[in-house]
């Protein structure tokens, strides 16, 4: 059988409680005692039983990551980041995919919490948008942090200045000489879509360009929606010289459509995306995009969460850094063209 706390205590010639104190980094233990315990733990190869700990302490030592995102790379990166931090706190992480459009989302989340009893949650878009879920968590007073919520001011966690990033992207296009820049909006239920659209508009304004309805279409963040919107833009009389899609998947759709139509990228059309997902590096030409540090964001969200769980400190909303990745899909508009 495995050694128990009691065995460690016997080995060290101490009481179980003292060993427990050492294990949980509690104060009021002499440093020399601490050492003796550490030696015995090592000697017996002792590891605490998580169930017993949880039962007695009335905590699960588990964090839940809630997601409902079609992008596997996004979820994987965030998950990896959260896991890293959880590991460092000897916490477990449970990945919880959940259909955020289902009518009984709130009761599902409630059930999930009741059955698994996580000590805290990390929420990702678009679950961060759901007022019912937020209300439920706040009512139950269960710690949580958000990644990229629509209104960062009212949450703890991490966000990106997506508006500024989009603005930068537009200015990049303008600096290349583009004046007819189209935008494909992201999924309507993701706060990011709105912020990126806002940044697009701001970028135009700053450059003295007009925001034109005809140059903006609603997408869904999916490759297919990129294809469809691109088609509509590109068969138009006066097609834009650049298309800024609100994410990389849609940008890839734009590229496919353009190539299919025989256009050259970036000579006939510049294309850019957002997120810096693997696809932006794996299509030809490679896509100019905004790097979103998902791994870091997962780490930060978890770190902020542990401030609440562990240190009983108030968590903050941290702003992560983005960067513009200029690649092969953007260039000067051809003077000939059209």
Partner DNA sequence: CTGTTAGCGCGTTCAC
Partner DNA sequence: GTGAACGCGCTAACAG
Among 9, 22, 75, 147, binds its own copies (CB under 8 A): 75
Q: How far is the CB of 331 from its own copies (least distance, A)?
A: 15
Instruction: Compute how many other C-beta atoms are within 10 angstroms of the C-beta atom of residue 216.
Output: 17
Helices (H), 89-222: 105-116, 131-140, 162-176, 191-206
Q: How big is the site for its own copies, counted in residues (CB under 8 A)?
A: 43
**99 lies in the site for its own copies, by CB under 8 A:** no
Q: Which tokens belong to 60?
A: 């699960």
Residues 11-30 that bind DNA (CB under 7 A): 13-18, 20-21, 23-24, 27-30
**5 lies in the site for DNA, by CB under 7 A:** yes
Pick 42 or 104: Cβ nearer DNA: 42
CA distance 25 to 36: 14
Write the CB contacts of 56 (distance below 8 Å, at least 6 apart in sequence): none
Q: Which tokens belong to 14?
A: 């101490």
Q: Which residue has the tokens 């459509």?
A: 257
**48 lies in the site for DNA, by CB under 7 A:** yes
Write the CB contacts of 246 (distance below 8 Å, at least 6 apart in sequence): 166, 183, 184, 185, 186, 192, 193, 196, 197, 219, 221, 273, 274
Cβ atoms of residues 247 and 70 within 8 Å: no
- Window contacting its own copies (CB under 8 A); options: 171-179, 187-195, 280-288, 305-313: 280-288
Pick 32 or 139: Cβ nearer DNA: 32
Pick 4 or 232: Cβ nearer its own copies: 4
CA distance 11 to 14: 8
**49 lies in the site for DNA, by CB under 7 A:** yes
Among 32, 115, 139, 336, binds its own copies (CB under 8 A): 115
**268 lies in the site for its own copies, by CB under 8 A:** no
Q: Which residue has the tokens 């020399």?
A: 32
Q: How far is the CB of 54 from DNA (least distance, A)?
A: 8
User: Which residues sit opposite 122 in a β-bridge?
Assistant: 65, 145
Pick 119 or 202: Cβ nearer its own copies: 119
Distances (CA, A) of 229 to 31, 101, 131, 309: 67, 24, 30, 45
Among 223, 244, 306, 322, binds its own copies (CB under 8 A): 223
Q: How far is the CB of 246 from its own copies (least distance, A)?
A: 16
CA distance 58 to 37: 24
Pick 117 or 327: Cβ nearer DNA: 117
**73 lies in the site for its own copies, by CB under 8 A:** yes
- Window contacting its own copies (CB under 8 A); options: 9-17, 29-37, 208-216, 246-254: 246-254
- Nearest CA to 123 out of 305, 316, 320, 249 is that of 305
**77 lies in the site for its own copies, by CB under 8 A:** yes
Among 43, 52, 135, 235, binds DNA (CB under 7 A): 52
Q: How far is CA 16 from the centre of its chain?
A: 42
Chain residues that interact with DNA, rule: CB under 7 A: 1-2, 4-6, 13-18, 20-21, 23-24, 27-30, 32-33, 48-49, 52-53, 55-58
Q: Which residues bind its own copies (CB under 8 A)?
A: 47, 49-55, 60, 72-73, 75-77, 79-80, 83, 90, 92-95, 97, 111, 114-117, 223, 249, 252-253, 255-256, 259-260, 278-279, 281-284, 286
């Amino acid at each position: 059988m495995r050694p128990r706390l009691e065995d460690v205590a016997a080995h060290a010639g101490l009481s179980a409680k003292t060993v427990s104190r050492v294990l949980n980094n509690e104060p009021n233990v002499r440093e020399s005692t601490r050492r003796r315990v550490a030696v015995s733990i090592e000697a017996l190869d002792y590891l605490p039983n998580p169930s017993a700990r949880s039962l007695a302490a009335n905590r699960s030592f588990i964090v839940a990551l809630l997601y409902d995102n079609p992008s596997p790379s996004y979820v994987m990166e965030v998950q990896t980041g959260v896991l890293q931090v959880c590991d460092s706190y000897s916490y477990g992480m449970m990945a919880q995919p959940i259909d955020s459009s289902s009518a009984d989302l709130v009761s599902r989340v409630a059930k999930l919490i009741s059955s698994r009893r996580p000590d805290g949650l990390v929420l990702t878009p678009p679950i961060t948008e759901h007022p019912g879920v937020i209300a439920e968590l706040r009512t139950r007073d269960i710690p949580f942090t958000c990644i990229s919520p629509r209104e960062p001011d009212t949450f703890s966690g991490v966000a990106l200045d997506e508006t500024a990033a989009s603005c930068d992207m537009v200015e990049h296009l303008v600096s290349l000489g583009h004046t007819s820049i189209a935008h494909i909006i992201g999924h309507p239920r993701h706060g990011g879509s709105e912020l990126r659209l806002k940044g697009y508009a701001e970028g135009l304004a700053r450059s003295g360009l007009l925001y034109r309805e005809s140059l903006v279409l609603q997408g869904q963040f999916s490759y297919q929606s990129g294809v469809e919107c691109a088609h509509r833009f590109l068969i138009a009389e006066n097609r834009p010289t650049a298309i800024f899609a609100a994410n990389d998947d849609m940008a890839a759709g734009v590229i496919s459509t353009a190539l299919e139509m025989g256009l050259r990228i970036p000579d006939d059309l510049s294309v850019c995306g957002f997120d810096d997902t693997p696809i932006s590096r794996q299509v030809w030409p490679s896509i100019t995009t905004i790097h979103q540090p998902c791994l870091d964001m997962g780490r930060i969200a978890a770190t902020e969460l542990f401030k609440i769980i562990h240190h009983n400190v108030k968590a903050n909303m941290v702003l992560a850094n983005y960067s513009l990745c200029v690649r092969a899909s953007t260039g000067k508009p051809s003077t000939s063209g059209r």
